[in-house]
Structure 1
Amino acid sequence: MKKSNKQRRAEIKTRRLERAAASAARLREKDVRLPQTDYAFALGCEPADRSVLERYNNTYGVLPAFYEDRPFTCRDCGAEEVWTAKQQKWWYEVVHGHIDSRAARCLECRRARRERLRNAPPGANLLREQTDRLRALGDAKPTASAVAEVEAALESKWWSLRVVAI
């Protein structure tokens, strides 16, 4: 009997949730026979590169030695999801997301939210409009007004806008 992609995705999601719950239960029970670093190689765990985390995260807390699968509830639809250790490693070490950030929405809700923001009326998503304008200025020949606009963006309260201006 062939399964549809929807059925396969549901099975994968169920296995991830079970694996995350089992991993969390194992980590709550400290095994005195194993040193703390051996937990990093458990199923559903990825070792963290602390040198990358130290460079891009200004935190007073302890940086993780490894990432573990984390179950979460989607903020919009309430679906049970798993933020996998590999996804966390990508988020924190490649994208340089803040170490205290957590997954909040499932993939479908993230896509729907992006589409809503993309189709919003003018002025509703000012940050996106300004970053798009700055990117367009970067492709054109510099003028006095363009330079003034870039300088104003460099003084912006929005960090991402300052990054685009740079």
Structure 2
Amino acid sequence: MTSKASTPIEYIDQLPEDRKKPISDLRNVILKNIPAELEEGMLYGMLGYYVPQSVYEPGYHVGKDYSPLPFINVASQKNFIALYHSGIYAHPPLMEWFKEQYPKHSKYKLDMGKSCIRFKKVNDIPLELIAELCTKMSVKEWIGIYESVIKK
């Protein structure tokens, strides 16, 4: 579900009551742990944490207009909260690390797609693990992986 909100605060304010705290908690963990060069905003109708054009001028390869290079997105979907981490999708060692660590931080089975981690138990998101995940890749590493793997 995409939102027409123009700011992260507006996005959270428009959520159902049972989603506001889990999304806010996840947002706070991400903001405290992502590399300083990343910016927060709305991207693709959800919370976005991305490499701004001032850091990486070419931006994302999808679309006609400039779009910043996404790194992490968060969305409140109908049946779960989704965290999209581009580094997990593009860097298999990071994916393996996350899969290995997840059971140490959650009593629930990992529900994951290529880059989407789905949290159906929205009040039991493993925030410590997400905090660590946010520190596992620098912006420079992400741009290098993006250019070598995604933007061929």
Q: TM-score, normalised by structure 1?
A: 0.22
If asked which structure has higher relative contact order (CA below 8 Å, sep 6+), I would say: 2
Q: Which has the higher strand share?
A: 2
Between Structure 1 and Structure 2, which shows a larger proportion of helix residues?
1
TM-score, L = length of structure 2: 0.24
